[in-house]
C-alpha cells in the first residue's frame, strides 16, 4: 500500500475542475495508485513520473 501526498495546489485545482467525469477518474486513479496499481506512467525527470489518464481534455498528474 502506498501513501499519496496531495499538495494544497493540487487539491484546489481538483476542486475547481469543472469536468466531473475527469475529476472522478483522477480520484479513482489516485486510489488505484495507493493500492499499488500505477497504470500508464512515464518518468519526466528528477525522480518525478506522471500518471496519464486518457479521457476528454488532457489532465496529467505528476507523482
Where are the extended beta strands (E) located within the chain? 41-45, 48-53, 59-62
- Facing residues of 49 across strands? 43
- Give pLDDT, residue 17: 93
pTM: 0.74
Answer yes or no: is 54 within a domain.
yes
- Give pLDDT, residue 63: 55
Instruction: Give me the domain span that covers residue 57.
Output: 8-62
- Give pLDDT, residue 57: 60
Burial of 51 (0-12, 13-18, 19+ CB in 10 A): buried
Answer yes or no: is 37 within a domain.
yes
Q: Quick: pLDDT tens for 31-42.
A: 999 999 999 999
Answer yes or no: is 1 within a domain.
no
Sheet holding 48-53, edge to edge: 41-45, 48-53, 59-62
Total tally of structural domains belonging to the chain: 1
Q: Return phi, psi of residue 31, to 5°.
A: -60, -40
Amino acid at each position: 500500500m502506498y501513501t499519496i501526498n496531495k499538495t494544497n495546489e493540487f487539491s484546489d485545482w481538483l476542486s475547481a475542475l469543472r469536468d466531473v467525469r475527469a475529476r472522478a477518474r483522477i480520484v479513482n486513479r489516485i486510489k488505484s495508485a495507493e493500492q499499488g496499481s500505477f497504470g500508464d506512467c512515464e518518468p519526466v525527470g528528477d525522480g518525478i513520473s506522471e500518471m496519464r489518464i486518457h479521457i476528454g481534455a488532457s489532465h496529467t498528474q505528476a507523482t
